């Protein structure tokens, strides 16, 4: 299975609060691939809103996202789109 890893910088003013975390998890849930997110420490489940909230990603935080599965490339493209659009909060 393909493994894809990318780094993203949180650019929206309030960071990864509830709305962006929900958008991330909802987007990831559309795919079969597993997705994990890291902010310095260990990885959390990218399909869990609560896990994403625990990483405390403020504006300017660099996150590492790893997707593992047959549709990992497509998942990562959609995740990149969320970050590029600042989760619709620009």
Q: Could you state, in order of their start, the residue ranges of all structural domains in the chain?
A: 3-88
According to the CATH classification, is domain 3-88 in 3.30.1340.10? yes
- Mark 37-69 as b/e (b = at least 16 C-beta within 10 Å): bbbeeeebebbbbebbbebebeeebebebbbeb
Q: Which residue numbers are catalytic?
A: 17
pLDDT above 90: percentage of residues in the chain: 91
At 42 the pLDDT is: 87
**pTM, 2 dp:** 0.94
3-36, pLDDT tens digit by residue? 999 999 999 999 999 999 999 999 999 999 999 9
33-81, pLDDT tens digit by residue? 999 999 988 899 999 999 999 998 999 999 999 999 999 999 999 999 9
Burial class (CB in 10 A: 0-12, 13-18, 19+), 6: middle
């Amino acid at each position: 299975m393909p493994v894809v890893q990318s780094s993203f910088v949180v650019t929206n003013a309030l960071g990864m609060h509830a709305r962006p975390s929900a958008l991330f998890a909802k987007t990831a849930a559309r795919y079969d691939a597993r997705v994990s997110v890291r902010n310095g420490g260990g990885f959390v489940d990218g399909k869990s809103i609560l896990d994403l909230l625990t990483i405390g990603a403020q504006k300017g935080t660099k996150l590492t996202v790893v997707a593992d599965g047959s549709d990992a490339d497509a998942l990562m493209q959609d995740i990149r789109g969320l970050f590029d659009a600042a989760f619709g909060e620009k």
